[in-house]
């Protein structure tokens, strides 16, 4: 999980999460109430992020406007998320995955019901155990679930350092966001940007490495 989502731990001028995976709602709200948060309404959607991240985003949005580009949130839950929302996102992938594998005869119906009823923490373990046997849960059921959704408590959105951007396909938008400290750090999550608060040239010295995938640069922990 550190490898997949850990780039945010090098972010500057913000509060860093106390864990790679928050274990419950209490831990998440304790963290979220301890940090400086600011809100901004962009394209009709109000997003909440750590203050330094919002300030950089405001500058990026203003610069985009001057260049006839736009940077807007991709939907209502594109920034701040609670623990519960990360559980719901996770389940929205696990449950259809279980149906798929039951239909394929790879998981018995009773086993699927048992897994469905587990707590989030226990379920993460079970899903990864199944994936070791080639029973994958990402959309399309051919890759690991973490290509589609972060396990409950592991999302960078909980740490208020991530934004899903509607215009993620536009290379000019990606370049502009990067100049304002917003980088892509989760390989395969194309709309997802992470606030790191530094110039791109500083990232290798902070322990990140650049990986090129789908014609984009992702900065990931160099582990």
Q: How far is the CB of 62 from Zn ion (least distance, A)?
A: 23
Work out whether 93 is an interface residue with Zn ion (CB under 5 A): no
Rounded to 10 deg, the angle between the 83-103 and 120-132 helix axes is 40
Closer residue to Zn ion (CB): 93 or 192: 192
Residues of span 45-84 touching Zn ion by CB under 5 A? none
**Residue with the CB atom nearest Zn ion in the bound state:** 192
Work out whether 4 is an interface residue with Zn ion (CB under 5 A): no
Give which of 1, 49, 38, 58 is closest to 162, Cα–Cα: 49
Q: How far is the CB of 189 from Zn ion (least distance, A)?
A: 6
Q: Per-residue x/- marks for Zn ion, 149-168, CB under 5 A?
A: ---------------x----
Binding segment toward Zn ion, per CB under 5 A, in 91-99, 109-117, 176-184, 190-198: 190-198
DSSP at 221: E
Which positions ≥6 away from 120 have C-beta within 8 Å?
87, 90, 151, 152, 153
Work out whether 192 is an interface residue with Zn ion (CB under 5 A): yes
* Secondary structure tally for the chain: helices H, strands E: 7, 7
Closer residue to Zn ion (CB): 164 or 167: 164
Distance of CA 150 to the CA centre of its chain: 6
Q: Per-residue x/- marks for Zn ion, 114-153, CB under 5 A?
A: ----------------------------------------
Q: How far is the CB of 208 from Zn ion (least distance, A)?
A: 18
| Cβ 1 vs Cβ 145: under 8 Å | no
| Cβ 81 vs Cβ 49: under 8 Å | no
Which positions ≥6 away from 191 have C-beta within 8 Å?
74, 78, 164, 165, 166, 168
Q: How far is the CB of 125 from Zn ion (least distance, A)?
A: 23
Under the rule (CB under 5 A), what is the footprint of Zn ion?
164, 192
């Amino acid at each position: 999980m550190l490898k997949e989502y850990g780039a945010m731990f090098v972010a500057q001028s913000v509060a860093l999460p106390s864990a790679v995976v928050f274990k419950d709602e209490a831990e998440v709200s304790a963290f979220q109430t301890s940090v400086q948060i600011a809100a901004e309404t962009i394209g009709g959607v109000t997003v909440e992020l750590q203050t330094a991240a919002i300030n950089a985003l405001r500058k990026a949005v203003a610069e985009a406007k001057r260049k006839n580009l736009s940077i807007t949130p991709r939907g209502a839950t594109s920034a701040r998320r609670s623990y519960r929302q990360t559980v719901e996102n996770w389940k929205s992938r696990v449950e259809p995955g279980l149906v798929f594998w039951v239909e394929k005869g790879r998981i018995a119906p009773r086993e699927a019901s048992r897994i469905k009823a587990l707590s989030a923490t226990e379920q993460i373990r079970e899903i990864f155990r199944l994936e070791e046997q080639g029973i994958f849960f990402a959309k399309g059921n051919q890759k690991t679930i973490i290509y589609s959704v972060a396990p409950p408590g592991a999302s960078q959105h909980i740490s208020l350092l991530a934004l899903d951007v509607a215009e993620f396909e536009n290379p000019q938008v990606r370049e502009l966001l990067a100049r304002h400290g917003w980088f892509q750090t989760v390989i395969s999550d194309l709309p997802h940007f992470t606030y790191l608060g530094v110039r791109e040239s500083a990232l290798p010295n902070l322990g990140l490495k650049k990986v090129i995938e789908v014609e984009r640069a992702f900065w990931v922990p160099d582990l």
